[in-house]
Amino acid sequence: MAPHRVRVAALAPEMALGPREARHLHVLRLREGDPLRVFDGRGAEAEATLTLLDDLRAVLTLGERLNGTAETPQPVTLAVALLKGDKLADVVRAATELGAARVQLLVTRHADAREIGTQKLLRLRRVAEEASKQSRRTVTPEVLAPLPLADLSWEGTLFVAQPGAAARLTDHLTWNAPVTVLTGPEGGLSEAEVAGLTAKGAVAVTLGPRILRAETAPVALLGALVATGV
Amino acid sequence: MAPHRVRVAALAPEMALGPREARHLHVLRLREGDPLRVFDGRGAEAEATLTLLDDLRAVLTLGERLNGTAETPQPVTLAVALLKGDKLADVVRAATELGAARVQLLVTRHADAREIGTQKLLRLRRVAEEASKQSRRTVTPEVLAPLPLADLSWEGTLFVAQPGAAARLTDHLTWNAPVTVLTGPEGGLSEAEVAGLTAKGAVAVTLGPRILRAETAPVALLGALVATGV
């Protein structure tokens, strides 16, 4: 069984954890001397040993550093319209498993929601952190507060999922530059929004002739990326 | 706004609907003379007119037949291990949007669940029907009762998602033959299970170096299929 993974603020020769994480290690029946893994959520991961565990704290001693291998060769950003209810949590969870380095929330013309509360944004960040642990990533994707679509900028290539588009993601995808994939709200992006993006160099790509729910499209697009083996 | 789509047993010059569907048409504020679409769940779709609507029934008159364009060029089967809780419903819903013609449930060695109750199977079939309407498909995917993995047979190519596999779906995918994609339970397929499949000609393919939840892998694989434009 793989060692338990613990997120720490930064790798250091000795790393102290607070009561909450100490309790969690108790629940897992870990004891002093047991091996663990530590990761900092920004790409660094290492072996570690639990050298002290009591009710109030745990201390870990750093072991060998590991090469993170779970990251894509170029960072992937998912830019996704605000969605209603708990759909964004599902999207953030899947996007984390599928290797996204960043999730940028967007306000679009046909919006299912116009804003997101602070609590909900913090919850999305916790979802990303939890999913990064479960998928064995050393990077926790950032979840960025919503931007108006017109203010979105990107490096590399932006692919926008658009019903009826002729281009295929797989024909345009190289891993020589960062990748952003963008999906709209339940009502879709407006024609003007898509035109504005393509005028700035975005590539509108197909996901087939069916109507996808707003929460399925990002998983499908990111799935197409990871099916290239990254 | 697109006309409301109604599933019928078969296309016919006059088609009668029962009280439940009649109530639904009332709720949608449809009136006699309004245009509708009818589809039979097996690929046929046509325009229709609501010619009678009362509390007990509705009658539709057949109009022009439409060419279904929402289907993949070859049938796609999703073969998926039984999963706990409501995860299979999420998978069936997304698979329907992503064009699967059939969902074959599987019993695997590391099984999250060993069987599925009749009620739950019927619910999955309702989910497929509902999702086919929403995604504007004329075909409702069949959801087939579980088979032991060893009893699975397939036509064309079977792709099995396997952590650490070197092959890429997109390098092996042609649309010259039916496609089956297969994903395992939360604990993964056993090595013997994967070896048994590849011995029969299956291709083990990668979805990247991260650990995916059992309910994310099928959506990612089917996403890679539809990103080819089908």
For residue A166, list chain B residues with Cβ-Cβ distance below 8 A.
Answer: 229
Element (H, E) at B57: none
Helix, coil or strand: residue B86: coil
**What's the mean pLDDT in B14-21?**
91
Cα distance between residue A108 and residue A32, in whole Å? 52
Lookup result for tokens 């017109």: A150
Lookup result for tokens 């056993």: B190
Element (H, E) at A5: strand A5-7
Query: Could you count the other beta carbons within 10 Å of the beta carbon of residue A14?
Result: 11
CA closest to B94 among chain A residues: A216
**Longest CA span, chain A:** 61
Mean pLDDT is highest, among A181-185, B8-12, B24-28, for A181-185
Residues of A with CB under 8 A from a CB of B: 69-70, 72, 93-94, 97-99, 134-137, 166, 168-170, 205-213, 216, 219-224, 226-230
Q: What local confidence, expressed as pLDDT, does residue A165 receive?
A: 87
Q: What local confidence, expressed as pLDDT, does residue A138 receive?
A: 84
For residue B209, list chain A residues with Cβ-Cβ distance below 8 A.
Answer: 69-70, 230
Cα distance between residue B20 and residue A27, in whole Å? 52
Residue A185 dihedral angles phi and psi, to the nearest 5°: -85, 180
CA of residue B134 relative to chain centroid, distance: 12
Do residues A101 and A72 lie in contact, with contact meaning Cβ atoms separated by under 8 Å? yes
* For residue B1, pLDDT beyond 60: no
Size of interface A-B (CB pairs under 8 A): 127
Among B77, B79, B163, which residue's Cα sits nearest to residue A97? B163
Q: What local confidence, expressed as pLDDT, does residue A43 receive?
A: 67
Residue B65 dihedral angles phi and psi, to the nearest 5°: -75, 145
Domains of chain A: 5-66 (2.40.240.20), 76-227 (3.40.1280.10)
Residue B15 dihedral angles phi and psi, to the nearest 5°: -125, 125
Among B212, B193, B211, B215, which residue's Cα sits nearest to residue B202? B193
- How do residues B74-99 score in pLDDT, each as one tens digit? 899 999 999 998 999 999 999 999 99
- How do residues A60-101 score in pLDDT, each as one tens digit? 999 988 876 688 878 999 999 999 989 999 999 999 999 999
Query: Would you state the structure tokens that stand for residue A150, as one six-digit string?
Result: 């017109």
> How far off is chain A from B77, nearest CA to CA, in Å?
16
Q: What is the predicted ipTM? A: 0.76
Interface contact flag, B207 A221, Cβ < 8 Å = no
Cα distance between residue A102 and residue A82, in whole Å? 15
Q: Give pTM, 2 decimals.
A: 0.77
Residues of B with CB under 8 A from a CB of A: 69-70, 72, 93-94, 97-99, 134-137, 166, 168-170, 205-213, 216, 219-224, 226-230
> How far off is chain A from B94, nearest CA to CA, in Å?
6
**What's the mean pLDDT in B24-48?**
87
- How do residues A107-150 score in pLDDT, each as one tens digit? 999 988 889 999 999 999 999 999 999 998 988 999 999 999 99
Query: Could you count the other beta carbons within 10 Å of the beta carbon of residue A218?
Result: 31
Q: What local confidence, expressed as pLDDT, does residue A1 receive?
A: 57
For residue B99, list chain A residues with Cβ-Cβ distance below 8 A.
Answer: 208, 210
**What's the mean pLDDT in B116-131?**
97
Radius of gyration, CA atoms only, chain A: 20
Element (H, E) at A179: strand A179-183
User: What DSSP assignment string belongs to A107-168?
Assistant: E-SS-S-S---HHHHHHHHHHHHHHHHHTT-SBPPEEEEEEEGGG---SSEEEEE-TT--B-
Q: What local confidence, expressed as pLDDT, does residue B103 receive?
A: 98
Residue A8 dihedral angles phi and psi, to the nearest 5°: -125, 160
Cα distance between residue B105 and residue A225, in whole Å? 26
Lookup result for tokens 């967007």: A106
pLDDT level of residue A171 (50, 70, 90 thresholds): confident
- How do residues B136-192 score in pLDDT, each as one tens digit? 898 899 999 999 999 999 999 999 999 888 888 988 998 888 999 999 999 999 999
CA closest to B220 among chain A residues: A223
Helix, strand, coil percentages for chain A (3-state, nearest 5): 25, 30, 45
**What's the mean pLDDT in B185-211?**
95
Do residues A51 and A59 lie in contact, with contact meaning Cβ atoms separated by under 8 Å? yes
Element (H, E) at B90: helix B87-97
Do residues A110 and A102 lie in contact, with contact meaning Cβ atoms separated by under 8 Å? no
Among A179, A14, A227, which residue's Cα sits nearest to residue B172? A227
Do residues A68 and A139 lie in contact, with contact meaning Cβ atoms separated by under 8 Å? yes
- How do residues A179-225 score in pLDDT, each as one tens digit? 999 999 999 999 999 999 999 999 999 998 899 999 999 999 999 99
Q: What local confidence, expressed as pLDDT, does residue A113 receive?
A: 87
- How do residues A1-57 score in pLDDT, each as one tens digit? 568 888 888 888 899 999 988 998 999 999 999 999 888 766 678 899 999 999 899
Share of chain B above pLDDT 90, in %: 71
Interface contact flag, B70 A212, Cβ < 8 Å = no
Q: What local confidence, expressed as pLDDT, does residue B43 receive?
A: 67
Interface contact flag, B220 A216, Cβ < 8 Å = no
